[in-house]
Homo-oligomer: A and B are copies of this chain.
Amino acid sequence: MISVGLIGYGYWGPNLARNFDETDGVRLAAIADGRADRRDAAGRRHRGIVTCEDASSLIALEDLDAVVIATPLETHYPFAKAAIARGKHVLVEKPFVGSISHAEELAELAYKHDVRLMVDHTFVYNGAVRRIRSLIDSGDLGELLYLDSVRVNLGLLQQDSNVIWDLATHDLSIMDYLIDARPVAVSADGTAAAGFEHENVAYVTVHFDNGFLAHFHVNWLAPVKMRQMLLGGSQRMVVYDDTDPAEKVRVYDKGVDVDVNDRETRRRILVSYRTGDMHAPTFDRREALSLVAQEFAESIAQHRPPLTDAAAGTRVVALLDAAERSLRADGRRMAL
């Protein structure tokens, strides 16, 4: 039985608490939050739990095997460092940390202390996303050509960071999971409209070594909620619409055939399009976060790296960092 403590019982914390509570082989033992009302709520919902006022008290608890960190970004590094230093396994909310050097330092520290360090890239555990990965693996999509992602809506509370760190993290982690090619450069553009301090409308482009192109639109000022991803393949193309209650994943038997021989004899490319059936496969509808909790527990029990380990977290931080640098440099393309 793995004993887990949770730091942060704000927006996402209660979801983590509930899911760890229902995970086999795990005991949710402690919750830390600076606000008394949240500690009360945690105590009511999770009987017999230890509640702490600050993170360090929780980390200091002797009988905890693992710590889950669901606090603002700037605290991820110190809390994770302290927990690892005490030999605890650590699950950190996305985004992992605010800088590549912090990410690499934590990864090294976890290696040294032989503890599991996992990042909560929740969407990697989403049934729809995993279904798309299996479509890629089966070769059904053919050669992957591009990924286009839109994640927009109206709404945000007080924010200390821009929309890229908040929303694009999700999509970059999906991209990191789905695309095997190596990203080589990132550019980003955006605007802090309506008097905001940080960018609230932004676009991120990721270039890959094999010519694959990924593009992300993230926006806190959109009148409608959209969560849509296009994944173009030479054989088939996928539309993943997370707002569709019924058919989130649609596979279009559409593709492009280029007559290469013809190209040599004539200047113009002859292209023919195939249009066929559309297919909406079923997929695992379980809550992604329950699989996150399960993967964390199993990686500890089996003494193996979790699927979304510190390396995955670091890769996503590197993309965010490059996007941020590009934003500050008039959208110039930044090498990774």
The chain A residues found within 8 Å of chain B, CB to CB, are 143, 145-146, 148, 150, 152, 154-160, 187, 189-191, 193-197, 201, 203, 205, 207, 211-213, 215, 217, 219, 221-225, 230, 232, 234, 237-239, 243, 245-247, 250, 252, 254, 256, 258, 260, 263, 268-271, 273, 275-282, 330-333
Contacts and interface: CB of A to CB of B under 8 A. Distances in A.
Contacts of A217: 148, 215, 217
A246 B224 contact: yes
A158 B232 contact: no
A299 B98 CA distance: 56
Contacts of A234: 194
Given A223-B230, A245-B243, A281-B277, A271 B213 contact: no
A246 to B, nearest CB: 7
Query: Considering the complex of A and B, which 10 residue pairs feature the smallest CB-CB distances, nearest first?
Result: A223-B252, A223-B237, A145-B193, A278-B280, A191-B213, A195-B258, A158-B268, A194-B256, A223-B254, A189-B205
Contact of A211 (B187, B191, B277, B278): B191
B269 A252 contact: no
Given A158-B269, A205-B203, A222-B237, A193 B330 contact: no
A183 B31 CA distance: 52
Nearest to A259: B195
Nearest to A47: B44
A213 B201 CA distance: 9
B232 A221 contact: yes
A333 B331 contact: yes
A273 B157 CA distance: 9
A146 B250 CA distance: 27
Given A148-B222, A277-B281, A278-B279, 8 more contacts: A145-B194, A146-B193, A158-B268, A197-B263, A221-B232, A222-B232, A225-B245, A279-B279
A232 B250 CA distance: 23
Nearest to A272: B157
A262 to B, nearest CB: 10
Contacts of A205: 189, 203, 331
10 contacts: A187-B187, A187-B331, A189-B213, A193-B232, A197-B263, A201-B213, A215-B217, A223-B237, A277-B279, A279-B280
A148 B230 CA distance: 17
Contact of A232 (B150, B201, B280): B201
A269 B220 CA distance: 14
Contacts of A194: 143, 145, 234, 256, 258
A239 B226 CA distance: 12
B278 A191 contact: no
Given A222-B232, A223-B254, A278-B279, A215 B196 contact: no
A154 B275 contact: yes
